[in-house]
Structure 1
Amino acid sequence: MSKRLRSSEVCADCSAQDPCWASINRGILICDECCSVHRSLGRHISQVRHLKHTPWPPTLLQMVETLYNNGANSIWEHSLLDPASVMSGRRKASPQDKVHPNKAEFIRAKYQMLAFVHRLPCREDDSVTAKDLSKQLHSSVRTGNLETCLRLLSLGAQANFFHPEKGNTPLHVAAKAGQTLQAELLAVYGADPGTQDSNGKTPVDYARQGGHHELAERLVEIQYELTDRLAFYLCGRKPEHKNGQHFVIPQMADSLDLSELAKAAKKKLQSLSNHLFEELAMDVYDEVDRRETDAVWLATQNHSTLVTETTVVPFLPVNPEYSSTRNQGRQKLARFNAHEFATLVIDILSDAKRRQQGNPLAGSKENVELILKSISNQHSSESQDNDQPDYDSVASDEDTDLETNAAKSNRQKSLDSDLSDGPVTAQEYMQVKNALVASEVKIQQLMKVNINLSDELRIMQKKASKLEKQSSMSESDYDNPTTPLELEETGSGRKGRQRSVIWQGEGSIPEDTDTAPSSSLPSTEDVIRKTEQITKNIQELLRAAQENKHDSYIPCSERIHVAVTEMAALFPKKPKSELVRTSLRLLTSSAYRLQSECKKTLPVETCPTTDIQLVTQQVIQCAYDIAKAAKQLVTITTKENNN
């Protein structure tokens, strides 16, 4: 690492001294705490790498250093540099701020919502704007001005743009001009070194033709980066591309004694279309990155000072641009033990080599999800590791059709660590899970669209709290700011006057001293039916948000509240299970908060301080919390009723 990077550097997000991590695609340096938030966003948002404990291609590190030293951070904080932003109350995070919610909210706004980047004037045809930006990028990469190119990429310029008049891509131009750092930046944003121009030449060809031999060698490395990374993960070696060796295929000690399941999984992998195979390989690459970064993270952290929840990224975060089935497969990769994962990596390396050499196999419609199951079930006789991190699995459309009885039995053992993925026979359950995941993806997409102005949001909430006549705060099990709820109290106790109908907006389960705690739960089928109704109404609300139909918020929220009340009424007044009580509290308080937020969309003369974008964001968050709570109740009742 250069001397310039070792001294007086500060975190791009909170200005803490001596940042140890870099976000490659953002061209910035970040501290440990901010890095934990970047990791939780996923590699599609931020690609992090430790400055000292992770191997760096020299020119890639030089590219990040150049961007950082030339003010790349100002791209992501453009509007914050405007003096008017100080007057409006907007500010960046500081080293003293808590990771949650302060730093996390700021980082999500900055990189996920792109809340502070310079926005071009709105035009009717966005594709024309993207084309213009891409043409500018095509011209700019022949120079050494990296920051200009990063700005264009941040605005939507395409790294793989094929210029219709010039007949080539920006990477062809950079390679011909010998612009190594521009080539690194373009590659980070997805530029393909193997793309041919109108003359049938690749960027590698132009680099060699221009005498830029080191650049040519680096472009070849970039071309094989995926398979090189997988091989290095398993055996610590990379191929000698200079000598024409492009693949290293590690061998495991028991690889010659493959089980029938292993052979079947390998055959299914080979029968995938090239498109599906590439998707699976990219997902495995992301999982390798997650595991390697985890190892560096654990080796470098002061665990006595960092909050545990900021350090854990137990599975690949959901990418809203991917299908629910693909997101499920990505999440399941985290549950593979070392042997299973190594088997999958070796199979991918072997088949990548076969495909590149053009050895054909008969086509098939095999699904990636089925292949992952086959590999993870190779060791079905081994005990399941219940220490695996908890996470919400994404339901596959093929679960009920493709799982064998043996696999279901195997999965039963791990119910405690993965409630939502248990062997449920009801087809409706799978449909509900799919619908909930679809809602979750829509929520994330909408949150990307809506600008997150967290500081202004907190100011709004404080004003709203003063306006409302509330007398107490409801406890909840999630991190969002809590809205004061209508709980009536008398004297110094919390008994108060209970309403005759429970869960009519109080936001918590009434304490009924005359009722003994009950361990009985409703049937799974009843809970599923109510969850379906909630999900249907949530999706209707999300569609309204996506289409800016703000006048539909209130009727949608009322229908959701009715469905939530009906679902809550299925459960005993005083559930014995703390998990049930917590989920019901989240369900009902979120429904009440949703109604409260939706009322802010009334005509401006009624609510003159309303910022509709902020309201929409809160509405989306409430809808997500309701969906999450409903899903929790489905999984709890399913597990208990199956026992």
Structure 2
Amino acid sequence: MSRAKSRIQTDVCGDCGSADPSWASINRGILLCADCCSVHRSLGRHISQVKSLRQGSWQPSVLNFVNQLNAHGANSVWEHLLLDSAAPKSLKRKPAPKDAVHPTKADFIRAKHVQLAYVLKPTFQAEEGSSLELELSKQLHASVRAGNLETSLRLLVQGADPNFYHEDKGSTPLHVAVKSGQLSQIELLLVYGADVNALDAQGNTPLELARQAKQSVIAERLLEVMYEVTDRLTFFLIGKKPNHASGQHLLIPGQSKKEMSEQLKIARGKLQLVPNRMFEELVMDLYDEVDRRETEAIWATSTLNPDSGAVPFLPTNPHLSATRNQGRQKLARFSQQEFAGLLMDVLLDAHRRQNMANLRPMDGPLPAGLAQLKAAALAPGGGRSVSNVEVETLRQRIQDQELTIHELRSMIQKLASENNQLKSSIDTKDHDVQLRIDSHLNGSGGASEGSPERDQEARQAAAAAAAAYAKRPVSMYETRQTPRDESRPPITQSLYSMAPAGGSASMDPGNGTQVNGGTGAGQLPSFEEVKRRTDVVARRIKDLFAAMKDLSQREAFVPSAERIRLAVVDLMALFPASIIASESLRGALQQLNFHGNLIQAECARLQQCLAAEGMVATAAGTVPNGGGGGGGAGVAGAAKPLAESIQQSMEQVRGCAYDLAMSTKMLITHLQQA
């Protein structure tokens, strides 16, 4: 790392022309004065990546890349229309150094860098069967062979893909730049999102090509880029970086010898359960927050009025969800000690995930800056030698794991066999109960129709079969049965998939009415019994609505929906398929079954959304929901606006509950008509 002390050739601010600029925008390739830099910082790193020329720590290749890009007219790419004499006069003029920052300079900078109002739009026509992006990407693929950075920047700004794979050449622009030894072109591509792990037609990464070509400087730089995220977090904590040349890719700071609190153990356990994709997003957000804090510290010591251009929290990124933007802003409310603890936990978990990745394939992509660890460990010279003792230890562990897997498989097979036996036994009993009911209703089998003892016996057996499913306590509900995907699961159950085969016998046959057109002596249940069970469904829906008023009790949503579904099952048990001849009544029962299943799925999705929202809020402590810019009460005491996904899920649950209530009403209506 080196400090930038030399003057760059075009030593003026790219946005207002002020002399002696002290800041630079890396991805824009221009220099900035303090006033214009304050506006750039408020836009966010997704627009402009600013760094101090005097106090920032620079990689030599990055500083040289900014020097070349600025000297070769990068600003003409961003201000092309302003330099064109044929441009319309309605365009905003470029501000002067003494113009006010707000609104003159700020409006111009937003138009220039956010709206890209002065960039040259591509005018050539794409060939038939091609696209504009494809043509631009092909030009970029050819441009990076030479050192003309301004041309490559213009193509990237116009829409060229830095990860474009040329089918004919079998490579990406980054492979071409590495082969050509163009380090500045490599830096430009990396700044605009080129994948350092991309493979060419021969299966080589850019790092492998650099090693094959004996380009040690490029190889070292690519290796550093692969671990840039974790290196930045480690450097922020202890001021050191791992020595990648010696095979050290993760440097874990020394941990305190104090006993870990129970709360910290729980927090780390939750972090380990975070999926790889969410962990990747968390690491990227922490990287941006580290950059903001480092830049803020330099800003406070380098300007006369640091409060005027301060950025107290990460700016909003419109490409991210509202929930994630809120979580990013809450990171600013962490104290230095709290933030350091969070970084420590993330680095430890990154190390744990990497060890797991070396043992078995992951079920998803590793976070940015971590996915390269496995490739580097497998690369020639990328890992250290392993002793025989370690090999034997790992072999013994693998054998123990295989033995455990074998035992678990045997246990699963045994449980599956017992489950099949129980199902067969239940089906047999249900069939016997149904035969006894039919025998009793038809007066066959030698039974006396007027025998009260046999009538009571059949009635009790049928009621027991109908309640077989509903006997399971709601407290035994297992969350693993809920839909795991956020999308609504398809409901494919048949009309009576939730009701036992003999469940119809729980009705009182003496109070029903004869079904016209039926085959046999089946009777509809009494109106009073149906009304009583529909009232139970209505009460369960009210209980769910009461639970939804307090979102902190989100664990009660799915059990409440389970109770609703069981009440629906109990209601449908009164209507076996053998006694339903009315199409309208059958349709009402189908709607009832559909919405009874659907409300459980929607409650599960609502609970998942609330859990995801609560994970960010728990990590933020007493951070206000409105962002890190102002004070205010903590999360527990503030009126917290709901995320859009949670609001949509709540509307879906309310809609399902309304449809379910209407289905019960339709059932009552059709029963009266029948």
1:390-442: per-residue Cα shift (whole Å, max 9, x none)? Answer: xxxxxx9527984899999956999995559744798xx634x649999xxxx
For 2:123 and 2:140, the matched residues in 1 are separated by 19
Does residue 430 (structure 1) correspond to residue 432 (structure 2)? The answer is no
The residue number in structure 2 matching 1:129 is 132
Contact 1:159 1:189 in 2 (8 A): yes
1:538-588: per-residue Cα shift (whole Å, max 9, x none)? Answer: xxxxxxxxxxxxxxxxxxxxxxxxxxxxxxxxxxxxxxxxxxxxxxxxxxx
For 1:237 and 1:404, the matched residues in 2 are separated by 29
Shift of 1:135: 1.5
Contact 2:285 2:328 in 1 (8 A): yes
1:88-137: per-residue Cα shift (whole Å, max 9, x none)? Answer: 46311111111100110000000000010001249899982112211211
Instruction: Specify the SS of the correspondent of 2:313.
Output: coil
**Out of 31, 34, 39, which is 2:33 matched to?**
31
**Out of 58, 72, 75, which is 2:74 matched to?**
72
Change (3 A) 1:422 1:347: closer
The residue number in structure 2 matching 1:16 is 18
Instruction: Specify the SS of the correspondent of 2:200.
Output: coil
The residue number in structure 1 matching 2:353 is 355
Shift of 1:297: 0.6
The residue number in structure 2 matching 1:605 is none
The residue number in structure 1 matching 2:197 is 194
Shift of 1:170: 1.1
Instruction: Specify the SS of the correspondent of 1:109.
Output: helix
Instruction: Specify the SS of the correspondent of 2:98.
Output: coil
Contact 1:207 1:213 in 2 (8 A): yes
**Out of 603, 610, 613, which is 1:398 matched to?**
610
In the TM superposition, what are the counterparts of 1:320-399 in structure 2 within 5 Å?
320-357=318-355, 358=357, 398=610
In the TM superposition, what are the counterparts of 1:242-281 in structure 2 within 5 Å?
242-253=245-256, 256-281=258-283
For 2:230 and 2:188, the matched residues in 1 are separated by 20
**Out of 106, 109, 115, which is 2:108 matched to?**
106
**Out of 288, 291, 295, which is 2:290 matched to?**
288
What amino acid is the match of 1:77? E
The residue number in structure 2 matching 1:608 is none
**Out of 43, 48, 51, which is 1:46 matched to?**
48
For 1:281 and 1:407, the matched residues in 2 are separated by 14
Shift of 1:271: 2.2
- TM-score calculated relative to the size of structure 2: 0.55
For 1:414 and 1:95, the matched residues in 2 are separated by 35
The residue number in structure 2 matching 1:152 is 155
For 1:96 and 1:366, the matched residues in 2 are separated by 56
1:569-615: per-residue Cα shift (whole Å, max 9, x none)? Answer: xxxxxxxxxxxxxxxxxxxxxxxxxxxxxxxxxxxxxxxxxxxxxxx
Any gaps of 5 or more consecutive residues in structure 2?
365-479, 487-607, 649-674
What amino acid is the match of 1:299? T
Instruction: Specify the SS of the correspondent of 1:29.
Output: strand
Instruction: Specify the SS of the correspondent of 1:167.
Output: coil
Contact 1:134 1:159 in 2 (8 A): yes
The residue number in structure 1 matching 2:388 is none
Does residue 91 (structure 1) correspond to residue 93 (structure 2)? The answer is yes
What amino acid is the match of 2:319? E
Does residue 162 (structure 1) correspond to residue 200 (structure 2)? The answer is no
The residue number in structure 2 matching 1:237 is 240
- Hey, which bits of structure 1, 4+ residues long, moved more than 3 A? 1-4, 84-90, 121-127, 359-367, 399-426, 433-438
What amino acid is the match of 1:204? L
Shift of 1:253: 2.6
The residue number in structure 2 matching 1:175 is 178
Change (3 A) 1:404 1:272: closer
Change (3 A) 1:289 1:199: same
**Out of 30, 39, 59, which is 1:57 matched to?**
59
Contact 2:234 2:253 in 1 (8 A): yes
Shift of 1:214: 0.8
Change (3 A) 1:133 1:423: same
Shift of 1:356: 3.1
Instruction: Specify the SS of the correspondent of 1:430.
Output: coil
1:215-267: per-residue Cα shift (whole Å, max 9, x none)? Answer: 1001000111111110000000001000000011112435x522222222222
Contact 1:27 1:72 in 2 (8 A): yes
For 1:88 and 1:337, the matched residues in 2 are separated by 48
Change (3 A) 1:165 1:264: farther
For 1:398 and 1:320, the matched residues in 2 are separated by 22
Change (3 A) 1:126 1:96: farther
Instruction: Specify the SS of the correspondent of 1:83.
Output: coil
Change (3 A) 1:168 1:422: same
Q: Which moved more, 1:262-271 or 1:233-242?
A: 262-271
Change (3 A) 1:126 1:33: farther
Change (3 A) 1:410 1:326: closer
In the TM superposition, what are the counterparts of 1:451-462 in structure 2 within 5 Å?
none
For 2:636 and 2:263, the matched residues in 1 are separated by 20
For 2:336 and 2:185, the matched residues in 1 are separated by 37
What amino acid is the match of 1:238? K
Q: CA RMSD in A?
A: 3.7
Contact 2:299 2:310 in 1 (8 A): no
What amino acid is the match of 1:346? M
For 1:153 and 1:414, the matched residues in 2 are separated by 35
Instruction: Specify the SS of the correspondent of 1:165.
Output: coil
The residue number in structure 2 matching 1:572 is none
Change (3 A) 1:136 1:252: same
Does residue 140 (structure 1) correspond to residue 143 (structure 2)? The answer is yes
Change (3 A) 1:404 1:138: closer
What amino acid is the match of 1:114? L
Change (3 A) 1:3 1:165: same
The residue number in structure 1 matching 2:214 is 211
Contact 2:624 2:633 in 1 (8 A): no
The residue number in structure 2 matching 1:315 is 313
What amino acid is the match of 1:229? R
For 2:237 and 2:325, the matched residues in 1 are separated by 24
The residue number in structure 1 matching 2:469 is none
Shift of 1:18: 0.6
For 2:122 and 2:64, the matched residues in 1 are separated by 30
Shift of 1:52: 1.5
Change (3 A) 1:407 1:151: closer
What amino acid is the match of 2:184? L
Change (3 A) 1:342 1:437: farther
Identity of aligned residues (%): 50
Any gaps of 5 or more consecutive residues in structure 1?
368-395, 439-643
Contact 2:8 2:71 in 1 (8 A): no
Aligned residues: 403
What amino acid is the match of 1:190? G
